[in-house]
């Protein structure tokens, strides 16, 4: 174990990054990084972060605050005057939940920490195919960021890996269950921090994933809409 | 004026970013962004930031805190147990004042703000030729970061510009004086926040620049070493 390389996992507290961590721990020692940025559910996400870290006995954990992202605004996740819309799977636009250039802020902090720790990887739970069209969740963004790391760090720096990027939400559920990942302590809802709403974009995609995988989502919901198989 | 494009200027409070702002204001409206990150002189730099913003009557100003950079450590600027060494112009290594991947953290915040404001440029006062060998101050780093912006923002996003990157410190002094930039309110010292030490890397490079330009530096110093012309 001690000879394994180290990965800094960007762990939001949601299902995707939890399963990304579950996949990465077979090859890497883990350090967990969480970022609060004034999002509506930040305290609930932070609890999920620590619950997942406790489950995996991860000692190296760093919870940071990027308060400027809420000061800057421009997103329904950080601006309480903008409503969080219901999911619209047919939409091809970028939803209001997009937080401008958020992932670059997260990755930069992770690389700073990873460079000091001597990490070889920055693990991110981004999902491309099943995502909401956020520009900073695409493979070309992560590829470009890896080039920035190579040019901007002391040695060659860690590299970003996205182990669940190519999976659908249903595959993530199946893989997570197969690995015994603690999905019951994760939190994905954009709107609420007590009982998940079930209808925001993040809840709906998660619930649809569980339904397509043929399993019940273990966390409590206000509503559990039924999604037709695609 | 109203039709000019907007530039977000990363303004540390030092001489280089002040002159970069002075150059940019002929073509752009300005928004000033300052980041505190637990560096030894953070309150003095923040004062310089506001003094420069007052001088140029810049209303759009945002002072952010990136506390994780000091929590992460790895630099003599943020770790009080590491001494800030004297300047060593002959050294080819990366000095201990390097803050891991700092500029990526700064740029990411600036792009997030710039995307919301509709800025076309992110102006950075990085100086390549006369810098200290920081990897995140090189042209190839900024070029790579611009590709990240193009891939990771809603439209094409703002682009990073480095108007003083190709100048020596002496040229920056001359250009700043010619433009009437308020060099007297800037602050560059890494060590002290009352009177500049004169011997840290940042002070020494600044003082040598003034001497080669043939002018007195208007800020107070504990020591004013004399540097031979190169």
Domain chopping of chain A, boundaries: 6-213
Question: Which residue of B79, B112, B138 is the best one to mutate when testing the A interface, meaning the one whose CB has the most A CBs within 10 A?
Answer: B112
Whether the per-residue pLDDT at B169 is higher than 90: the answer is yes
Question: In chain A, which among 85-124 make CB contacts under 8 A with chain B?
Answer: 94, 98-105, 107-109, 111-113, 115-116
Question: Rounded distance, CA B155 to CA B148, Å?
Answer: 12
CB contact under 8 A, B100 and A115: yes
Question: In chain B, which among 27-86 make CB contacts under 8 A with chain A?
Answer: 62, 64-69, 71-74
CB contact under 8 A, B147 and A144: yes
Give backbone dihedrals phi and psi of A186, rounded to 5 degrees, phi first: -80, 165
Per-residue pLDDT, B87: 84
Higher per-residue confidence, B38 vs B196 = B196
Residue A89's nearest CA partner among A214, A176, A209 is: A209
Q: Work out the average pLDDT over B96-111.
A: 92
**Strand positions, DSSP E, A52-96:** 61-65
Q: Mean of the per-residue pLDDT values for chain A?
A: 92
- B164: Cα separation from own chain's centroid: 10
Per-residue pLDDT, A15: 97
Question: Rounded distance, CA B124 to CA B180, Å?
Answer: 19
Per-residue pLDDT, B90: 75
Question: Rounded distance, CA A145 to CA A185, Å?
Answer: 30
Taking CA B194 as the corner, what is the angle to CA B188 and CA B195, rounded to the nearest 5 degrees? 65
Per-residue pLDDT, B39: 85
Two structure tokens written together for A1: 């174990």
Name the closest residue on chain B to residue A139, using Cα atoms: B151
In chain A the first and final C-alpha atoms are separated, in Å, by 42
- B85: Cα separation from own chain's centroid: 20
Whether the per-residue pLDDT at B117 is higher than 70: the answer is yes
Write the CA distances from A146 to A16, A112, A142, A161, integer angstroms.
21, 13, 6, 9
What's the CATH class of domain A6-213?
alpha beta
User: CA of A106 to nearest chain B CA: how many angstroms apart?
Assistant: 9
Provide the percentage of residues in chain A whose pLDDT is more than 90. 73
Question: Rounded distance, CA B16 to CA B129, Å?
Answer: 13
Two structure tokens written together for A226: 């039924």
Provide the percentage of residues in chain A whose pLDDT is more than 70. 96
User: CA of A38 to nearest chain B CA: how many angstroms apart?
Assistant: 14
* Strands of B29-36's sheet in order across: B61-65, B29-36, B6-10, B121-124, B159-161
Q: Using a CB–CB cutoff of 8 Å, tell me whether A131 touches chain B.
A: no
Whether the per-residue pLDDT at B1 is higher than 70: the answer is no
Per-residue burial over B95-126, b if 16 or more Cβ lie within 10 Å, else e, is bbbbbbbbbbbbbbbbbbbbbebebbbbbbbb
Higher per-residue confidence, A210 vs B156 = A210
Q: Work out the average pLDDT over B79-106.
A: 84
Per-residue pLDDT, A9: 98
Indicate the residue of B100, B104, B115 with minimum beta-carbon distance to A148: B104
Whether the per-residue pLDDT at A81 is higher than 60: the answer is yes
Per-residue pLDDT, A229: 61
Q: Work out the average pLDDT over A80-93.
A: 80
Per-residue burial over A126-142, b if 16 or more Cβ lie within 10 Å, else e, is bbbebebebbbbbeebb
Question: Rounded distance, CA A103 to CA B230, Å?
Answer: 44
Highest mean pLDDT among A15-29, A36-50, B214-228: A15-29
> Which residues make Cβ contacts (< 8 Å) with residue A92, sequence separation at least 6?
A133
pLDDT, tens digit (0-9, with 9 covering 90-100), for A12-40: 999 999 999 999 999 999 999 999 988 88
Q: Which residues of A touch B151 (CB under 8 A)?
A: 135, 138, 140-141, 144
Whether the per-residue pLDDT at A132 is higher than 80: the answer is no
Query: Looking at domain B6-167, does it have CATH number 3.40.50.620?
Result: yes
Per-residue pLDDT, B229: 61
Strand partners, B62: B33
Indicate the residue of B73, B140, B150 with minimum beta-carbon distance to A151: B140
Per-residue pLDDT, A38: 84
Question: Rounded distance, CA B131 to CA A95, Å?
Answer: 42
Q: Which residues of A touch B144 (CB under 8 A)?
A: 144, 147-148, 150-152
> Which residues make Cβ contacts (< 8 Å) with residue A211, sequence separation at least 6?
A226, A227, A229
Question: Which residue of B36, B66, B108 is the best one to mutate when testing the A interface, meaning the one whose CB has the most A CBs within 10 A?
Answer: B108
User: Do residues A130 and A173 touch, judged by C-beta distance below 8 A?
Assistant: no
- B146: Cα separation from own chain's centroid: 18
Whether the per-residue pLDDT at A130 is higher than 70: the answer is no
User: Do residues A108 and A136 touch, judged by C-beta distance below 8 A?
Assistant: no
Q: Which alpha helices (DSSP H) does B127-192 contain, by range?
A: 139-152, 169-178
Q: Which alpha helices (DSSP H) does B153-200 contain, by range?
A: 169-178
Whether the per-residue pLDDT at B230 is higher than 60: the answer is no
Whether the per-residue pLDDT at B129 is higher than 90: the answer is no
Residue A14's nearest CA partner among A135, A145, A169 is: A169
Helix axes B102-117, B139-152, angle to 10 degrees: 40
Highest mean pLDDT among A89-103, A142-156, B17-31, B83-97: B17-31
Two structure tokens written together for B102: 């700092």
Give backbone dihedrals phi and psi of B102, rounded to 5 degrees, phi first: -55, -45
Whether the per-residue pLDDT at B177 is higher than 60: the answer is yes
Q: Which alpha helices (DSSP H) does chain A contain, by range?
A: 15-24, 42-55, 68-72, 102-117, 139-152, 169-178, 201-213
Q: Which alpha helices (DSSP H) does B38-138 contain, by range?
A: 42-55, 68-72, 102-117
């Amino acid at each position: 174990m001690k000879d394994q390389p180290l990965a800094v996992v960007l762990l939001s507290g949601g299902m995707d990054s939890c399963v990304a961590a579950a996949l990465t721990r077979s090859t890497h020692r883990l350090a967990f990084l969480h970022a609060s940025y004034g999002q509506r559910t930040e305290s609930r996400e932070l609890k999920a972060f620590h619950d997942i870290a406790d489950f995996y006995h991860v000692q190296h954990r760093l919870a940071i605050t990027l308060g400027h992202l809420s000061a800057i605004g421009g997103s329904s996740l950080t601006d309480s005057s903008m409503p969080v819309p219901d999911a619209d799977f047919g939409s091809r636009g970028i939803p209001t939940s997009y937080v401008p250039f958020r992932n670059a802020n997260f990755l930069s902090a992770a690389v700073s920490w990873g460079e000091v720790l001597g990490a070889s990887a920055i693990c991110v739970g981004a999902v491309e195919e099943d995502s909401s069209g956020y520009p900073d969740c695409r493979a070309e963004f992560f590829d470009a960021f890896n080039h920035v790391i190579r040019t901007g760090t002391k040695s060659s720096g860690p590299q970003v890996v996205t182990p669940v990027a190519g999976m659908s939400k249903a595959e993530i559920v199946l893989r997570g269950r197969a690995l015994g990942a603690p999905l019951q302590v994760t939190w994905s809802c954009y709107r609420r921090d007590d009982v998940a709403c079930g209808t925001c974009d993040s809840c709906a995609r998660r619930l649809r994933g569980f339904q397509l995988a043929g399993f019940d989502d273990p966390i409590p919901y206000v509503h559990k809409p039924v999604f037709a198989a695609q």
